[in-house]
Amino acid sequence: MDFAFTEEQAMFQQAAAEFCKNEVEAVAIKLENSKEFPMALTQRMSELGFMGMVIPQEYGGVGADYLAYLLVEGEIAKTSIGLSMTLGAQNSLTGLPIMNFATEAQKKKFLPLLASGEKLGCFALTEPGAGSDPAGMRTTAVKKGDRWVINGTKIYITNGSVSRIAIVWARTGTKPDGKPQITALLVDRDESPYKTGTVEDKMGVHASPTSELIFEECEVPADAVLGKEGDGFKVALMTLNTGRLSVATQSLGLAQAAYERARKFASEREQFGSKIGDFQAISFKLADMITSINAAKGLIYHATWLKERHGLSDPRFISMAAQAKLFASEMSEDVTSAAVQIHGGYGYMKEYRVEEFFRAARLMTIIEGTSEIQRLTIARQELKG
């Protein structure tokens, strides 16, 4: 197993680093504080090819491998977690399921729009009564002639308010065993309008809006089904498996950013006549932080390696992706908290940004499957064997 980056992977990572240094770093604090969606920077990511990283060239994308995409996403997360989440929503949560399950006609229609950034996508699964348990969803899609009519409400949708393309999960019937039949549907907002409800006032990650979406008699064509009718759970679960690597990478980026600032602060800040990094209490914190960061990298790269070689449905990949997300998200929360502590009172001040990273890291243990769901997934896979 070789984790050395290819020339192309290293090139994309460097391009992302330069983009952040030259165009994002100076406005990063403003992005977080303004709570406005950074459309100009999002379009800039499109121009650089980042919004279509995983989309094949024949559909207008870059056609890079998944690790190259993760390297770009993680690099951007170091500077702006909001921009990184927009990148993830476009590539991992919208682009990939269309690539994996769409018809050729659907691919030709939607993928170029996503790759160019002309339209932003979102993953509309969660509902008020259906978070970790999607079987509890109440949104319905009823077949009427040559149309599906969608009614229901989705919540906590990343970039929902700015999306023009949504993958929407809805109940389309009942199975013989009494369980709901769930189907994924592709919805183009310009052709089949849906409403934005509440845009949430969150603890952090303010540059990425989290929104309520309301579907009222929303009509889509009969051929809007993504995959097969009734295969919605399969589409969601396979998408979330790769999405967990995306969240793990964002967590890694947050931890790396916090660690770098804490290390710099510890090497400059003096107390009791010495640099605080010379004190064992601080130096041991830094040692634990970098060790955890590197352990998370290993899990992420291993899971990505399994995905590329054995596919999305391989039990080893499913387990390792959950392990990577679990460990990296909880590691990020620990590392960013330690960074605040090392900064002392300065760590609580926004200008040093470590408090921002800490608030963002808290989210990582919740989205795309809570830590508890990851442990359940890992245990189930392990007990099968």
Residue 212: phi, psi to the nearest 5? -90, 135
The encoded tokens of residue 18 equal 């330069």
Q: Report angle CA 241, 182, 218 to the nearest 5 degrees.
A: 110
What is d(CA 108, CA 124) in angstroms, rounded to the nearest whole number? 21
Radius of gyration over every alpha carbon of the chain, rounded to an integer in angstroms? 21
Mind telling me the catalytic residues?
368
- 């041991």: which residue's tokens? 284
The encoded tokens of residue 98 equal 């269309």
Contact 158, 213 (CB under 8 A): no
- Cα 349 to Cα 42, 156, 208, 286, 346: the distances in Å are 27, 28, 22, 20, 5
Residue length of the chain: 385
Name residues whose C-beta falls within 8 Å of residue 93's C-beta, 6 or more positions apart in sequence.
121, 122, 123, 158, 167, 239, 243, 246
Q: Which residues pair with 144 in a beta bridge?
A: 147
Amino acid at the residue 321: A
DSSP 8-state assignment for residue 14: H
What is d(CA 303, CA 240) in angstroms, rounded to the nearest whole number? 13
Q: Are strands 121-124 and 165-174 parallel, antiparallel or unpaired?
A: parallel
Helices 371-384 and 315-343, packing angle to 10 deg: 150
- 């939607």: which residue's tokens? 110
Q: Which residues pair with 186 in a beta bridge?
A: 167
Q: In the chain, where does DSSP find H-type helix?
A: 7-19, 28-34, 39-47, 66-77, 81-90, 96-101, 104-116, 232-268, 280-310, 315-343, 354-364, 371-384
